[in-house]
Amino acid sequence: MELVTKKKLHIVSGRANLPLAVEIAEALGVELGDANTADFANGEIHCRFGESVRGMDVFIIQSHGASGSMSINDAIFEHLQMVDAARRASAKRITAVMPFYGYARQDRKAEGREPISAKLIANMFAAAGADRLMSVDLHSGQIQGFFDGPFDHLVAMPVLVDHIERNMGDDIVVVSPDAGRVKVAERYANALHADLAIVHKRRVKGAKNVVEAKEVVGNVAGRTCVLIDDMIDTGGTLVAAAEQLMEQGAREVCAAATHGVLSGPAIDRLKNSVISKVVVTNTLPLPPEKQIDKIEVLSIAGIIADAIDAVFEDTSVSEIFGGANQS
C-alpha cells in the first residue's frame, strides 16, 4: 500500500493585530484558527489551540507592537507561547510570522555593555520551536542572519509604490531621511523613475529619539518630496527632515513608511508639521486616538498571504518581489 501525504495549512494569530490576520486568512481562502489566548488575573498569558495541528504547516501571526492593554513584550511572549504550543502539539512545520519584528533597532552594540536584543528575539523563537521566521521590512537586513534557519524578508514596496504613483503626481523626488536608508530609498526612486535626495541628520548624543536635520543633498526646489523610511516612531526624524526640505524650496512634503509605530509625541508632531500626507501600512494597528486626517493606512495582507502561500507550496518568495526583498 502506498501512503500519500497531503499537506495541510493552518493559520492562527495572537491578539496584537488580529484584523490583519483576518485579512491574510481571507486572502488565502482559509479560516483563521482559534488560539484561545487569554490573560489570567495575575497578568500571565495563556493559549490553547482550538483544533488539532498535528502534522500541519502552521503559520503563527503576531505583530510585535503595543495594542490596547498589551505591551510589545506581552505581544512577543504571547507569540512565543503559541509557537511552543504548536511544537508540543506535533505541528509538522512552524513559521512565526511577525509583520513587525520587535527590538529590530537593537541589532548591534552601539556602546559598551549593551545587549543585542534583535539577536535575543531570534534565539527565543528558535528555542520555542520555530522552524522559520517571516517579517516585513526589517530595520536592517542582517537580522535575517540572527536566526539559524530560513528567514523570509518581505517588503512593502509594491504597495507603497503603487499608492505613490497613483496619488502623488509625476514630479516627485524620493528622499532618504538619513544616510542609513539610502539603499532603500534608491530602490523606491528606481521603481518610481524619480530622482533621489538625501537629508543628512545628526542624533543628539546622550538623548534618545532626538534628531537634528542638517542639510539636503539633491535638487528638491519646487518639487513634491516623498520621504521613505522603514518606520515612524516618535516622528522626530521625518519632521526634522521635512522642515529642512521646505527650507530648500520643496513644493510639498509627504512621507511613506512600512511601520507606523507612532509612539510618544509622534501624532502631535505629525499633526503640527509641514508634512501634508503620511502613508503607512497595517503591520501595526492604528488605534482610534492616533487616526488623523494626515495618516492613511494601506493593507499589507496580500503580500504576506502571497509569501505564506509560496512557503506552503515550496515555491520562491523572492520572485514575488523580483528579488527586491534582498537587502
The 10s digit of each residue's pLDDT in 197-252 is: 999 866 656 666 565 657 899 999 999 999 999 999 999 989 999 999 999 999 99
pLDDT of residue 169: 86
Sign of the C-alpha dihedral computed for residues 98, 99, 100 and 106 taken in this order? positive
SS3 98: strand
pLDDT of residue 6: 81
Strand 211-217, strand 195-203: pairing:
antiparallel
Rounded CA separation 66/226 (Å) = 27
pLDDT for residue 110 is more than 80: yes
Instruction: Check: CB of residue 15 under 8 Å from CB of residue 67.
Output: yes
Domain 9-155+301-321: top CATH class? alpha beta
pTM metric for this prediction: 0.93
Calculate Rg over the CA atoms of the chain.
20
Please identify which of the residues 201, 205, 208, 214 carries the catalytic annotation: 201
| Catalytic status, residue 201 | yes
Phi, psi of 151 (to 5 degrees): -135, 110
pLDDT for residue 1 is more than 60: no
Q: CATH 3.40.50.2020 region(s) of the chain? A: 9-155+301-321, 157-298
Instruction: Extract the C-alpha cell encoding 224.
Output: 513634491
Rounded CA separation 241/225 (Å) = 10
Type of residue numbered 69: S
pLDDT for residue 53 is more than 60: yes
Instruction: Extract the C-alpha cell encoding 194.
Output: 524619480
User: 5-14, 68-77, 115-124: lowest mean pLDDT where?
Assistant: 5-14
pLDDT tens track for 231-240: 999 999 899 9
How many Cα atoms are found within 13 Å in the side-chain-facing hemisphere of 45?
A: 20
pLDDT for residue 196 is more than 80: yes
Instruction: Check: CB of residue 286 under 8 Å from CB of residue 260.
Output: yes
Instruction: Extract the C-alpha cell encoding 297.
Output: 493606512
pLDDT of residue 5: 65
Percent of the chain with pLDDT over 90: 88
pLDDT tens track for 297-322: 999 999 999 999 999 999 999 999 98
Q: Which CATH number fits domain 157-298: 3.20.20.140, 3.40.50.2020, 3.90.550.10, 3.40.30.10?
A: 3.40.50.2020
